[in-house]
Amino acid sequence: MNTFRLIFFGMAFTFSVLPVLGIARPALMFIKPTDLPDLGLRLKLMPESREAPPASPPVFLCQFTRGDQTWKEERFSPLDLWKQGQYAGQWVGRDGSKLLLAVMSQLPPSGSPAQPVTRALYEQQTSLATNSTLFSSESDIARWVSCFSDYPHPVGKRVDKQASKISPVYVFRLDNLSPNRVAYVFRLAAGAGKSFRYIWICAQFDLNTDILMESACDIIEKDFLGSISATTQSRPAPAREALTKAGEEAADASADLKVAQQQVINSIRNLKGWWYDVTPNYIILSNLKSGSDSFVEQLKISLKLIRSAYRQCIPESLNAGIGVIRIPATRQEYCEYVGEDSRWTSGLWVPRRKELVLCPADNQSVRGKRQSLLHTAFHEGFHQYAYYAFGQANPSMWFNEGYAQFFENAVVANGRISIEESPRALALVTSTRSGSEMDLRRLLSLSWQEFYDSDDKIRTRNYAFSWAFVYYLKKDASSPFTELLDRYVAAFQSNGGNGEKATESMLAGVDLKRLQLDFERFWQSNSRQAAARRYNPFDSRQ
């Protein structure tokens, strides 16, 4: 508190002024020693920083026709694949500031980076030059920073008075387009004798907007760059012993698939606490804490059994890919990974990135969280499986979401699968009195936009009735329409992945009024519903 004396018209007044309370600017600090043995690097990170793996590069599914032959190819932006190959690790501090670390192993791809290519072609065209022979000029460094940081024509400045072990050092201020982004490029001297080598590294910072850039650069150069040293390079052992057989299980995979699998694994190679596990059909990435081993084993067993049930509904494609399942440890990490538009979800299958992301439930017991994760995995896992089984095409909304909810309520026990009712959907369906609300003609014709209506009530109704229709067709053994789902699958495959035509073919020759009536009667009949609860379509004994 400060005291002031004011003389006014000859009279003296003494008064005190309390300091104005405001929100202090976040302070950038580097106090968390961290070893990155995969890089042979030791440095300090921001306090309370957590690992934040990057998203997989987007996939462009291209269809080609030559004569009477039609085929699909997965293609990628060469620039996205290049960035993925340079990536070494990413961390987020408690104030939201991010550090992205990259090993500058290759110059950016030449030619047209906007022209999508297959992963195999990219690998063939990529230069095999070693790190030490690159970046002989500042223009090469500037070009690398320009492509990696998405900043045209960056201008670097040499940073003086840095230790010889990381000299030279360049700083790139990207103020015009990214005022809170700054990139440092330095050359690290590592190893000794015959193993001596130079490694070019880029540290890109995206700082909290309240941090002053000038002071931040001083702190980065003193406390971050000053903490860097080389260590003995070694690849850390995987966190789960089961991984020792990962290569054997993927032995029959194509070369392209193996490269994709390895790049997924590389995305967490320097992130402490993250681990991966490989099964014949899935790669599981997670940073779930200790004590999760039993759940992971339960998840693997359950996925294997539930996949056999998927297969009975949709025959598996010969070109089925490896399913990537990512499980962040907290909801905050999940929301940061999937983005603002999807933070309302509890799980997400993202075809464009070919990843299934699961969100741990909050405010539940350990058992409750595990059950929630399993049910979400069964739901999103069906979307993932159907996408590959149908040749990387998405079926009609009623089919995709109806079946996903059907499997969401699966129970796996003693090597068997049973399907229970969906409590939420059942409550809505059984409380519906108006037949017009359960109109199958409307339901079966819904587009993506119509199904995911902005009105929560309409969207919830669409989900509930899709589940009700699939459940009725799959579990009501007395229904005269039990073959419709199989007819849809055959029609979708024969129509080249056209959901509207597949639904029309499924209904060809079907009395829609009779189907509507029988559907409604099922949900009005306690005896038919009781029989459906006892019937298990995946039990060979029935």
CB-based contact 470:406 (threshold 8 Å): yes
Band (540; pLDDT cuts 50, 70, 90) = low
Band (12; pLDDT cuts 50, 70, 90) = very low
Tokens of 185: 């490029």
Distance CA 283, CA 384 (A): 13
Tokens of 263: 């790049």
pLDDT for 31 beyond 50:
yes
pLDDT for 345 beyond 80:
yes
Distance CA 55, CA 74 (A): 17
Phi first, then psi, for residue 172 (nearest 5°) are -120, 110
* CA 246 to chain CA mean position, Å: 21
- What CA–CA distances, in Å, run from 91 to 202, 226, 376? 14, 19, 27
441: amino acid identity, one letter: R
pLDDT value at position 433?
60
pTM summary value: 0.79
Output DSSP code: residue 165: G
DSSP three-state, residue 140: helix
Length of the chain: 542
Distance CA 172, CA 191 (A): 28
How wide is the angle at C-alpha 385 spanned by C-alphas 383 and 389, nearest 5°? Answer: 120
Band (337; pLDDT cuts 50, 70, 90) = confident
457: amino acid identity, one letter: K
Computed over every residue of the chain, the mean pLDDT equals 84
Distance CA 356, CA 129 (A): 35
291: amino acid identity, one letter: G
Please choose, from the candidates 259, 299, 263, 268, the residue with its C-alpha nearest in 3D space to the C-alpha of residue 282. Answer: 299
426: amino acid identity, one letter: L
57-61, 158-162, 251-255, 484-488: range with highest mean pLDDT:
484-488
Tell me the three-class secondary structure of 447-484, residue by residue.
CHHHHCCCCHHHHHHHHHHHHHHHHHHHHCCCCCCCCH
DSSP three-state, residue 91: strand
CB-based contact 507:386 (threshold 8 Å): no
Calculate mean pLDDT across residues 18-24.
49
253: amino acid identity, one letter: A
Calculate mean pLDDT across residues 381-409.
94
Neighbours of 481 (CB within 10 A): 17
pLDDT value at position 235?
52
pLDDT value at position 110?
76
CB-based contact 43:227 (threshold 8 Å): yes
How wide is the angle at C-alpha 401 spanned by C-alphas 397 and 405, nearest 5°? Answer: 165
Q: Angle formed by the axes of helices 512-522 and 456-475, to 10°?
A: 90
Residue 437 makes CB contacts below 8 A (sequence gap 6+) with: 461, 465
Q: Is 518 exposed, middle or buried (0-12, 13-18, 19+ CB in 10 A)?
A: middle
Dump pLDDT digits (tens) for 351-375.
888 899 999 877 777 788 888 999 9
CB-based contact 348:306 (threshold 8 Å): no
Band (5; pLDDT cuts 50, 70, 90) = very low
Distance CA 342, CA 473 (A): 31
Distance CA 76, CA 348 (A): 21
Q: Which region among 159-173, 227-241, 442-456, 465-479 has the lowest average model confidence (pLDDT)? A: 227-241
Dump pLDDT digits (tens) for 304-328.
999 999 999 999 876 666 788 999 9
Distance CA 419, CA 79 (A): 45
CB-based contact 256:322 (threshold 8 Å): no
Q: Which region among 5-14, 39-48, 73-82, 373-382 has the lowest average model confidence (pLDDT)? A: 5-14
Neighbours of 357 (CB within 10 A): 24
Q: Using omega within 30 degrees of 0 as the cis cutoff, is the peptide bond preceding 168 cis? A: yes
Dump pLDDT digits (tens) for 105-127.
888 887 666 788 888 888 877 75
Band (454; pLDDT cuts 50, 70, 90) = confident
Q: What percent of the chain has pLDDT over 90?
A: 46
Calculate mean pLDDT across residues 499-525.
95
Query: What sections of 73-137 are H helices per DSSP?
Result: 78-86, 119-125
Tokens of 229: 């040293």
Distance CA 184, CA 145 (A): 9
Distance CA 475, CA 538 (A): 10
Distance CA 432, CA 514 (A): 19
